[in-house]
Structure 1
């Protein structure tokens, strides 16, 4: 039986972001579990970074057999903290924050100029971070079909401030075989930043995609995931 693929979204997104990739993976025989983290307008529960890590731990505990864990963008920080759960055989970081202990999404993404979804592009509203639809379309979806980009931007929900600023205490990718998918046309997490993060995993590939290859290049991304899943679980 092929491993189950657990799909973790980026900031402001839900499991819906993975719909196209999940359909392709399931057609290839991989059961899929798209994750939606607690958050305003998404799901009840603890919406902080710690709450998201605890949520992922609970999800993984309910998945039988081998798991390949895939994280997009912010989801990589959650994988870094909580990804080495029992049963996880491999992890794939998709333009994701593969962090060292003491780093956060903010500390890495804001350390180098060029991001169009950095600290100056996000609004802080109380305890939440909001990204405006026009900013999201330009930063996340510029190579997507315009209708897809508009629909995705409309579905984004506020994220708790801690998701961006909490530093990780562990590096689960050191204990689990991991692969990094660099998106070379990314405007949210620059390719230079991604390549530095990718060098930590020792295994990486590149897609000529924006920050959202799950929408713009789902078949290519699914192929990258299944290719590494086969290699890591052989």
Structure 2
């Protein structure tokens, strides 16, 4: 039987477009891959009206409730599970998540472990049982992140982790580039920033998943640690692995290191493809 296609899930603010270069590299290695949009992102993204209203009102943008505020982990997992069933046709599939896509991958694998051949976390949240992702940036391992300073407005009021990728201020553009694309060549980073959505549902970071040995803990997993990451610091990525291995010592995490920033899918797509094709499939 031919290798099952690899399913790729983006993180916050990105879409399936983020994986285009990895898909090309995988194809060159004889592996098929399909990128799917995270709920409320890509083709499912909905921006607040103030984001495109002209003249731009910064105050309105900082306070307008988000149209995606109520989309949580179950809704996002529903969408991913549906895509996996359609793509796999009953086969177990390897799945890769980036950044906050990891929390959604975790919820989906806990609910439907039989859909997954292997879980890959690329600089992704891999939260411990009953632990919301929002907890992690305030931990000592996460405090050096440059992501939280990008937020606009009060997430409790807007219902979103809102950023402003359309802000022409060079300092804002520089801050986004340093947080997400530190080692991506500047023209490519600018093109990626232009495609970012502005709202990520706060529900996804305040909800948690109870992990079990028969659910998520039963699926083989690999963590791809990006050692120069300024959004999810390497120390925090290491914590995810140690927590998972302590909870499920009979199913330990394989770890691969890449000397890249948060967005290895743009700065080192060949290396990402190498890990996905050379690592254990479970």
TM exceeds 0.5?
yes
2:193 to 153, 161, 164: 153
Alignment CA distance shift 1:26-1:41 (3 Å): closer
Equivalent in 95, 98, 102 of residue 126 of structure 2: 98
Structure 2 counterparts to residues 68-107 of structure 1, below 5 A = 68-83=94-109, 84-107=112-135
Alignment-derived partner of residue 264 in structure 2: 213
Whether 1:122 aligns to 2:151 is: yes
SS in structure 1 at match of 2:97? strand
Whole-angstrom distance in 2 between the partners of 1:74 and 1:145: 23
Kindly state the Cα deviation for residue 212 of structure 1 after the two structures are TM-superposed. Answer: 0.2
**2:44 aligned counterpart, secondary structure:** coil
Q: Distance in 1 between matches of 2:139 and 2:240?
A: 13
Q: CA deviation at 1:51?
A: 1.4
Q: Deviations over 1:51-89 (max 9, x none)?
A: 111101111111223311101010111111112443411
Preserved CA contact (<8 Å) 1:182 1:198: no
Aligned match of 2:235: 192
1-structure distance, mates of 2:147, 2:78? 26
Aligned length: 230
Q: Which moved more, 1:27-36 or 1:69-78?
A: 27-36
How do 1:121-140 residues align onto structure 2 when only pairs under 5 Å count?
Answer: 121-123=150-152, 124=155, 126-133=158-165, 134=173, 135-140=175-180
> Hey, what's the Cα distance between the residues in 2 that align with 1:34 and 1:8?
6
Maintained 8 Å contact 2:211/2:217: no
The C-alpha deviation readout for 1:140-195, integer Å capped at 9, x for no partner, is 10100101111111111111111222122336541110000110000000110111
Which stretch has the larger CA shift, 141-150 or 197-206?
A: 197-206
Q: Tell me, yes or no, if the aligned pair for 1:129 and 1:160 is still in contact at 8 Å.
A: yes
Moved over 4 A (4+): none
Q: Is the 8 A contact 2:9 2:96 kept in 1?
A: yes
Name the Cα RMSD after superposition: 2.0
- Report the alpha carbon displacement of residue 40 of structure 1 after superposing the two structures with TM: 6.4
CA radius of gyration, larger in: 2
SS of residue matched to 1:86: helix
Distance of 1:181 and 1:173 partners within structure 2: 18
Q: Distance in 2 between matches of 1:192 and 1:168?
A: 22
Distance 2:41 2:237 in 1: 29
- Specify the SS of the correspondent of 1:182: strand
Gaps of 5+ in 2: 46-67, 166-172, 245-251
1:41 positional shift: 6.6
Q: How far 1:48 moved relative to its partner?
A: 3.0
Q: For 1:167 and 1:205, how far apart are their aligned partners in 2?
A: 26
Closer/same/farther in 2, CA of residues 146 and 36 from structure 1, 3 Å limit: same
